[in-house]
Structure 1
Amino acid sequence: MSAVDLFSALLVVLGCVLLSAFFSGSETALTGASLAHMHSLEREGDRRAIVVSQLLRHKNRMIAALLFGNTLFNIAGSAVMTSLLIALVGENGAVYATFVMTALLLIAAEVLPKTLAINHPDRFSLTVARPVHLFVSVFGPLLAGVELLVRAMLKLAGVELGHGRTMLSPYDELKSTVDILHQEGNVERSARDMFGGVLDLTVMHVSDVMVHRTKMRAVDADLPPHQIIKEVLASPYTRMPLWRERPDNFIGVLHAKDLLRALDAAGGDASRLKIDEIMLAPWFTPEATTLEDQLQAFLMRKTHFAFVVDEYGEVMGLVTLEDILEEIVGDIRDEHDSAMPGVRPQKDGSVVVDGASPLRDLNRAMDWRLPDEEATTIAGLVIHEAGAIPEAGQVFRFHGFRFEVLRKMRNRITSLRVTPELQAEE
Structure 2
Amino acid sequence: MDDFTLGTLFVALLIILLCSGFFSASETSMMAINRYRLNHLVRKGNKSAKLTARLLAQTDKLLGSILLGNTLLNVAAATLAEIIVLRLFGHDNSTALLVGSLTVTFAILVFSEIMPKVIAASHAERVALPSSYALAAIIKLFYPVVSIATALVRGMLWLLRIKVQTDHSHHKLSLEELRSLVLEAEHFLPRKHQKMLLNLVDLERVTVNDVMIPRNQIEALDAGADPAELRQQIITCHHTLLPVYAQTPGNVIGILHIKRVLPLLEDTLDTGQFREILHDPYFIPSDTPLLKQLQQFQERQTRMGLVVDEYGELLGLVTLENILEEIVGEFTTQSPAQTGKFLRQDDGSLLLDGSSSLRELNRKLGLQLPLGEAKTLNGLILEHLQDIPEAGTSLKIGNYPIEIIQTQDRAVKVARLFPAQKSQPLQRG
Class of the TM-score when normalised by the shorter of the 2 chains:
0.7 to 0.9
Which range is displaced more, 319-328 or 196-205? 196-205
Tell me, which stretches of 5 or more residues in structure 1 are unaligned?
none
Cα deviations by residue, 1:15-64 (Å, 9 ceiling, x for unpaired): 12211221111122111222222222222221111111112212233223
The 1-side partners of 2:363 and 2:140 are apart by: 51
- SS of the aligned residue for 1:288 comes to coil
1:82 aligns with 82
The aligned counterpart of 1:302 is 301
* Residues 67/366 of structure 1: CA separation in 2 closer, same or farther (3 Å cut): farther
1:7 positional shift: 1.4
1:304 Cα deviation from its structure 2 partner: 0.8
Distance 2:413 2:153 in 1: 60
Work out the CA distance in 2 between the residues paired with 1:348 and 1:103.
67
- Tell me by how many angstroms 1:253 deviates: 1.8
**Larger gyration radius, structure 1 or structure 2:** 2
Aligned equivalent of 1:236: 238
Distance (whole Å) between structure 1 residues aligned to residue 116 and residue 340 of structure 2 = 55
Task: Give the C-alpha shift of residue 299 in structure 1.
Answer: 1.8
**Alignment-derived partner of residue 184 in structure 2:** 180
Q: 1:87 to 1:342 in 2, by over 3 A?
A: farther
Deviations 1:350-369 (A, max 9, x none): 76655554444455446677
Spell out the pairing of 1:248-287 with structure 2 (5 A cutoff): 248-263=250-265, 266=266, 269-271=267-269, 274-287=273-286
State the shift of 1:250 in Å.
0.9
Q: Tell me: CA distance 1:277–1:339, structure 2 relative to 1, closer, same or farther (3 Å).
A: closer
Counterpart CA distance in 2 for 1:169 and 1:101 is 44
**Partner SS for 2:311:** coil
Residue of structure 1 equivalent to 2:222: 220
Equivalences for 1:27-426 in 2 at 5 Å? 27-89=27-89, 90-157=93-160, 159-162=162-165, 170-182=174-186, 185-263=187-265, 266=266, 269-271=267-269, 274-334=273-333, 342=341, 354=353, 356-365=355-364, 372=371, 375-377=374-376, 386=384, 388=386, 392-397=393-398, 402-407=399-404, 409=407, 410=410, 415=415, 417=417, 419-420=419-420, 422=422, 425=424
The 3 A distance-change label for structure 1 pair 232 and 171 is same
User: Which piece of structure 1 moves more, 94-103 or 26-35?
Assistant: 94-103
- 3-state SS of paired residue (1:318): strand
The letter for the 2-side match of 1:30 is M
- C-alpha distance in 1, partners of 2:198/2:131? 35
Aligned-pair distance for 1:252? 1.5
> Quick one: structure 1 residues 84 and 201, their matched pair in 2 at CA, closer, same or farther if it must change by over 3 Å?
same
d(CA) in 1 for partners of 2:202 and 2:333? 25
- C-alpha spacing 1:152/1:246, structure 2 compared with 1 (3 Å): same
Shift of 1:372: 4.1
Kept after mapping to 2: 8 A contact 1:216/1:317: yes
| Cα distance, 1:319–1:346 mapped onto 2, change above 3 Å | same
TM-score under structure 2 length normalisation = 0.81
Distance 1:342 1:120, change over 3 A: farther
Maintained 8 Å contact 2:217/2:337? no
Give CA-to-partner distance per residue, 1:159-194, whole Å, 9 cap, x none. Answer: 44359x9x9962222122222333xx2333333332
Q: 1:262-320 deviations in whole A, cap 9, x for unaligned?
A: 33xx3xx3445743234322122222333333222222322111112222222221111
**Compared with structure 1, are the counterparts of its residues 156 and 341 closer, same or farther at alpha carbon in structure 2 (3 Å cutoff)?**
farther
TM-score scaled by structure 1? 0.82
Measured against aligned partners, the alpha-carbon deviations of 1:132-166 in whole angstroms (never above 9, x if no partner) come to 12222322332233333334444555544359x9x
Partner of 1:246, secondary structure, is coil
Corresponding residue SS for 2:261? helix
Q: Say how many residue pairs are matched.
A: 412
Question: CA 1:374–1:243 in structure 2 vs 1: closer, same or farther (change >3 Å)?
Answer: closer
